[in-house]
Structure 1
């Protein structure tokens, strides 16, 4: 292949109520709303666009792995363990469902949180090298 994929531009997240989900992402995660109608909202968060798409009840971006454990499909990065601990505390204060900070046996630490629709996301204390260069 002569060309390569450069970046992920948009992630689609199923939600049951576009208005409620939009309010949740804007107030809890400080996302910026750029468009909204009855079927979807477009928010900007973590240098990416997310489409909050109206879906049927109990639809999430999560999946079940081969061991039967529900998994997240997206990991956000922060700059170091101090930043991880700070955002963990901030999300708890904003009444977000947040898991414990974990040592998963690789570099850094992680925790999981859920949005208002049960979509599960991971947060990792290690920035990708390209973002380290931007700091």
Structure 2
């Protein structure tokens, strides 16, 4: 049996290739992601949505109501409903205004100094996401 080195210095995981998002209705969610976020469908059924740089979001219809949201005291106060994913954008104001125009549940844009501008929103299934713009570029 080959011995495994215990002090790995190089990360063994390269990047996140795709993400799986639980949704209540595949068709309604695919339409929402297209209409509200401007994502394109990779497959006709809408189960794969493509981001601007080609990453995939798999929309998977759940058998019960479930989101990747969770509660923590480690982020923004006690019992904070945490998001599981952050989307980087080039124009946070445009994204925010578009979400507002579609009556999406969202929090105000927050200027976090050198960490950039950010806000959170929820999709049609209640999945909470984080949006971030790097203003230091």
TM-score normalized with structure 1 length: 0.79
Residue 90, structure 1, aligned to residue 92, structure 2: no
Instruction: Report the secondary structure of 2:42's partner residue.
Output: strand
SS at match of 2:43: strand
Aligned residues: 124
- What SS does structure 2 have at the residue aligned with 1:13? strand
State the partner residue of 1:122: 130
Q: Could you list the runs of 5+ residues in structure 2 that have no partner in the other structure?
A: 1-7
State the 4+ residue runs in structure 1 displaced beyond 4 angstroms: none
Q: TM-score, normalised by structure 2?
A: 0.78
Is 2:16 aligned against 1:5?
no
- CA distance 1:55–1:85, change in 2 (3 Å): same
Q: Say if 2:42 is the partner of 1:34.
A: yes
Residues 46, 76 of structure 1: 8 Å contact kept: no
Distance 2:119 2:11 in 1: 35
After superposition, the Cα gap between the structure-2 partners of 1:124 and 1:3, relative to the gap in structure 1 and judged at 3 Å, is closer
